[in-house]
Amino acid sequence: MSYSFLTGLARLLTRIVLGSKFHLRGTANVPHSGPLLIVSNHVGAIDPAIIGAWTPRPVWFMAKAELFKGSWAWLMRGYHAFPVVRHSPDRTALRRAFALLKQGSAVVLFPEGHRSDTARLLRAEPGAGFIARRSGAPLVPIAITGSQNVIGRHKVLPRRTEVAMAFGEPFQLPERNRDGSPMDHQQSADYLMTKIAALLPLENQGEYASSSLRQRAEA
C-alpha cells in the first residue's frame, strides 16, 4: 500500500476514533520543503501513525528493528519507516537517515529511544544529538499527550480519549553550551528535549522540567 493511502487512512481513523478529542496545533511551523529533522516524545503506540497522518508533508521514521521481523513489516515500510538497532551505532540506519535528509526529506526521530511508560519525558539517547549535529538540518519539536490511553499495552481495541499533538517552532542546535564549552552528543540530545518539554504540561516534562522552566523564563 502507498504512503499516501496509509496516511489518509490514519487521518480517517483519527477522526472516527478520537473525533473532537484530538487536538492539533502548530502545523504552520513545519517547513513545506527542504531537509528537516522532527523530534518527538513517545508515549503511545499510535504516535507514529498520527505524526505521519497530520504532519503537512511526507515524513520518514527511524523505528526499532524488532518491528520489521514480524508480519507487520510491510506496513512499517509502507509508512516510510526504516529499521534501527536501538542502543547501538547502527551505521546502516544512520546512512539512511543522512541520505534522506540530504535529499531534502523530513525524518522523524524519537530521542528517548522508546516509549515512556509514565508519559513523562525520559533522558534522551546521545545518538539523537549526534544525528541532529551531524546532519545540520533544521529541527522541529513535537509534543504528544494522551496517546498512551488510546491503545494500552497488550490491548487491541482503541478508546476515545483526549489526545493533543503540538508542533513547535523550527530551531537549530547552538554550537556551544552557556559556559562556552562545545556541546557533546548527550548535551545536544538534551537540548532537543528541552524544546519538546517546553510544549508539554509540567507534569509530563519529567527529566527536563527544570530546563523547560528556565527556558521559558528567559524567553
Active site residues: 42
What is the SS3 assignment for the chain? CCHHHHHHHHHHHHHHHCHHHEEEECHHHCCCCCCEEEEECCCCCCHHHHHHHHCCCCEEEEEEHHHHCCCCHHHHHHCCEEEECCCCCCHHHHHHHHHHHHCCCEEEECCCCCCCCCCCCCCCCHHHHHHHHHHCCCEEEEEEECHHHCCCCCCCCCCCCCEEEEECCCECCCCECCCCCECCHHHHHHHHHHHHHCCCCHHHCHHHHHHHHHHHHHC
What is the C-alpha R_g of the chain?
17
Residue 80 backbone zone (phi > 0: left; psi -120 to 50: alpha; other: beta): left
